[in-house]
Structure 1
Amino acid sequence: MSQEVAKLYNTYPFPPDPLLNEPPPGYNWRWSWVAAYNFCTGRKPQHQDIRILDAGCGTGSSTEYLITLNPEAEVIGIDLSEKALAVAQERCQLSGIAAKDGARFTFKQLRLEEAAQLPGQFELINCVGVLHHLVDPVAGIRALSQKLAPGGIMHIFVYAELGRWEIQLMQRAIALLQGPNKGDYIDGVQVGRKLFASLPENNRIVKREKERWALENQKDACFADMYVHPQETDYNIDTLFALINASGLEFVGFSNPRYWSLERLIGADSELLERAQNLNEHQRYRLIELLDPDISHYEFFLARPPLPKIDWSDDATLANATVEIHPCLEGWPSQHLFNYDYELVYLSEAEYQFLQQCALKSFTVAEIGILSLTQVRSLQNRQLIILTP
C-alpha cells in the first residue's frame, strides 16, 4: 500500500502549490514555534534554536513555512514520494530560502513509520494530512512520538468522517467504475470528472462539491488526493482519541478551539448547557460534531511531558512579565489588523498604544502601564501578545 500511495504522489505531487521566486506569503501560526508554543503553554519558549520535523512534507509547502517562520531552527522534511521531494527541494531553491545565511534544512525520502531512523529528537513535529493515509496510523503516530523531545509539541491534522461523507461515496463510485483500472490515478481523475459533469445539478454529492471543494479541486492533484487516494482512514471523536491515547502523548487541545465550544451551538438555551456539563470532555466534543457535522478534519496539538503551562492569574507574575507582539499578525502597525487566525481585529486606542510600546523594546507589563491587568490578559487570551515570566 505504501508503494501505491507513493505512486499516487509521484503521478500527482502534492500539494500542487505554485513555486515562487520569493519566500511564501503570509503565515500559518501552527508552524511558528513561538506562536504554537505560546498557544500550548501561555508563554514564549525559552529557546528557538530547535529541531523541527515535517513528517510527510510532500512538495515542501509546509516545510518552506517552517524554515521561514523559524529562522534559528534546523528543519528536516521526510516523505515517501521522490517526485514530491524533488519539487520541495526546487521550491526552497527557487524562493531563495536555501541561500539565506543560517538556513538549515534537509529533505529525506523516508516513510513516516521509519522515523526512528532519524538521529536525535525534535522539539516540534508537524504532521499534516498524513496519518490518515497510512495502513497503520497507530504505528505512524507511535513512531513520531518516539522522536518528540520532552517538553516538545506535535501538530497533527487528520480527516473527520462526518464532513467527508459525500467524498467517501464518490471515492467508492469511482473505484467501482474503474474496475481493473483501479490504481491508474490519471484514469481515476478522468472518471471522477466525468461523473461530476454527468450527475444532476441537485445531486447531493455535486452540491457538496460545489459548496466546499470545487475551487481547490480545479487542480487534478487536489482532485486525485481527495477522490482516488488508495488509502484513507476517517475519524470521529471516539476513534480520534483512541489514536491519541495510543501515542502515549498528552492531548494539549484543538488548535481551532472556538469550533469546540458548545456555546457556539446551544448557547441560547441555558438548560441544555447545564445538561452538557454532566458530560465528560470527550462526550462534549462528540456532541459538538454530531450537532455540526460539517467538520471535515481535526487539527490539534500533542505534547511529551513535562510541558509547563501558565495561566497568568497571579497579578504580580503578570505585572513582571516581559511582553512582545505576537509574531503572526498581519497589518501591524494599525488599529485594524488581522490576528493569528486571519480574523479582523479592532484595537482600542489604549491597546494600540500598549502594542506600540511592546514593539519598541523589551518592557514588562508594569513598565508599560497604559492597560489594566485585565486588559492585558484579554490581549494575551486573544493571542495578540507573547508573555515571558
Structure 2
Amino acid sequence: MTNQDITSAVERLYDTYPFPPEPLLDSPPPGYNWRWNWLAAYNFCTGQKPQKQDIRILDAGCGTGVGTEYLVHLNPQAQVVGIDLSAGALAVAKERCQRSGASKVEFHHLSLYEAGQLPGEFDSINCVGVLHHLPDPKRGIESLAAKLAPGGLMHIFVYAELGRWEIQLMQKAIALLQGSQRGDYRDGVSVGRQIFASLPENNRLVKREKERWSMENHRDECFADMYVHPQEIDYNIDTLFELIDASGLDFVGFSNPKTWQLDRLLGNNPDLMKRTEGLSDRERYQLIELLDPENITHYEFFLARPPLPSSDWSSKEALLAAIPERNPCMDGWPSRCLFNYDYQIVNLSESEFDFLQACDGNSDKRRTIGDILASVKLEEEGVRSLLEQQLILLTPNIK
C-alpha cells in the first residue's frame, strides 16, 4: 500500500473503533498520570519546578481524548490542543472534554504530518501510541519536533518488538485467515476471537493473552487496536534511537526508569555487573531488553529541545536555600501512607510527614528548606530522600 493508503486504512480503523474506549464522565477523570502533569514531568526531567505554568500543550494523536482530558485538568493554567486523524475519535474527544468541564482545549482534524499547520510552538508535546502506526514515523517525529519550543519537552510512547512477539504472530494469523476481507475490521475482530477460543489452553499465544492483555481486550476497540491494526512498526533499542536521532532533539531519559536499571536483573552477580561498566548507555539498554523481553513491551521517554536546565542539589548550601513544594501527584494525601507520583505505596515517618505539610502552599510563602528545618525535626538526608522519591519539587532561590 502507498503511504496514503495506509493513512486511510488507519483512519477507517479508528472511525470504526474509536480509541481509547474509556467511558465519558460528567466530572474530572480520577487519579493522574504524572507524565501528563507539567510540574511533575518537568521536575523529573530537570530536577526542579518549571518557571511557568501558563504553557501550550499539544496532544498529538489524541484519539478519543482520554489523555487530552487529563492534560487539561492536571494543568489548569495551560492551553491544550488536540489533533487526530480520525473524525470519529475527535467527536468523542470533544464530547468527553465538554462533559467533564475541560474547557481550555481545542481540537483539529489533522495528522501528525500536518502539525505544521498549527500556529506557534508548544512547551509540551504528548505523543502516546501514535508514531508506530504511521507509514513514516521519522517524518512524523520531525513534524512534531519542529513545533517544540526551546526548553520544551516531548513525551513519546512506542511499541517494542521483543515484548510484542506473540502479538505480531496473531496479527499475521488473522490477516492470513481474513484473506481478501482484510481491512474489514469487525470481521478481523471476529476471526481473532475465534482463533483464541479454538487454540489449546497451553498455546503460547493464548497464555500470553490471558496473562497480559485479556483484561483490556474484552473490549472490541482494544482488541482491534492490538490485533487487526493495518499499520504497526515495532522497535528495538537500535531502531528506537534512529527514530530519536531523526527528531534532532535531546534524549532526556525513559519515563519508567526502574525498568531500565540493570541491577534488577544482574545485581546479584558482582562479576557480571563489573563487565557492564564499559558499556555505553545504549548498550546497557540493549542488554536489558535482551534479558527481559517479556517486560519490554514498549518504550516511553522524554525528549527536549535545548536549553533545558539541570539542577544540582548535591551541596548542602544549595539544598537548604531551595524553595520546596509538595509534588502534586500524590494519592491519599494528607496521610503518612500514600501513593506517590508513580502509584507506589510510601510510608512516611512523622518528621517526613511534618515536612511535607510545611511544603503545602509554599509557592506563595517561599520558605526555604532551611527555614522549614528550623521548625521541623528532619535531617538533611531525610530531605534528600524525599527529593529522590520525587515527593517534593524544588525551586532555586535566586535573589
TM-score bracket for this pair, using the shorter chain length: over 0.9
User: Which residue identity lines up with residue 332 of structure 2 in the other structure?
Assistant: G
* Segment of structure 1 superposing worse, 330-339 or 359-368: 359-368
What does residue 327 of structure 2 align with? 326
**Percentage identity across aligned positions?**
67
Residues 195-225 of structure 1: CA deviation (Å, up to 9, x unaligned):
0000000000000000000000000000000
What does residue 387 of structure 2 align with? 380
2:363 is equivalent to residue 359 of structure 1: no
Residues 138-178 of structure 1: CA deviation (Å, up to 9, x unaligned):
00000000000000000000000011000000000000000
Choose which of 7, 20, 25 in structure 2 pairs with 1:15: 20
Residues 323-379 of structure 1: CA deviation (Å, up to 9, x unaligned):
110000000011100000100001011101111111253321000103222221211
Q: How does 1:93-132 map to 2 (within 5 A)?
A: 93-98=98-103, 104-132=104-132
CA distance in 2, matches of 1:252, 1:373: 28
What does residue 237 of structure 1 align with? 237
State the SS of the aligned residue for 1:88: helix
Choose which of 61, 64, 70 in structure 2 pairs with 1:65: 70
Q: How does 1:182-331 map to 2 (within 5 A)?
A: 182-294=182-294, 295-331=296-332
CA distance in 2, matches of 1:96, 1:67: 9
Cα deviation, residue 45, structure 1 = 0.2
8 Å Cα contact 2:18-2:88 kept in structure 1: yes
State the SS of the aligned residue for 1:238: helix
User: Which residue identity lines up with residue 344 of structure 1 in the other structure?
Assistant: I
State the SS of the aligned residue for 1:4: helix
TM-score (norm 2): 0.95
Alignment gaps of 5+ in structure 1: 99-103
User: Which residue identity lines up with residue 359 of structure 1 in the other structure?
Assistant: D
2:368 is equivalent to residue 368 of structure 1: no
CA distance in 2, matches of 1:364, 1:341: 26
What does residue 350 of structure 1 align with? 351
Cα deviation, residue 8, structure 1 = 0.0
State the SS of the aligned residue for 1:205: helix
CA distance in 1, matches of 2:345, 2:313: 25
CA distance in 1, matches of 2:303, 2:204: 36
CA distance in 1, matches of 2:391, 2:383: 10
Residues 22-45 of structure 1: CA deviation (Å, up to 9, x unaligned):
110000000000000000000000
* Segment of structure 1 superposing worse, 360-369 or 22-31: 360-369
Cα deviation, residue 278, structure 1 = 1.1
CA distance in 2, matches of 1:189, 1:311: 52
What does residue 162 of structure 1 align with? 162
CA distance in 1, matches of 2:278, 2:317: 35
TM-score (norm 1): 0.98
Q: What is the number of residues matched between the two proteins?
A: 384
User: Which residue identity lines up with residue 368 of structure 1 in the other structure?
Assistant: I
State the SS of the aligned residue for 1:20: coil
User: Which residue identity lines up with residue 83 of structure 1 in the other structure?
Assistant: G
CA distance in 1, matches of 2:222, 2:251: 30
- Check 1:360–1:121 CA distance in 2 against 1; reply closer, same or farther (3 A cut): closer
What does residue 336 of structure 1 align with? 337
Cα deviation, residue 291, structure 1 = 0.6
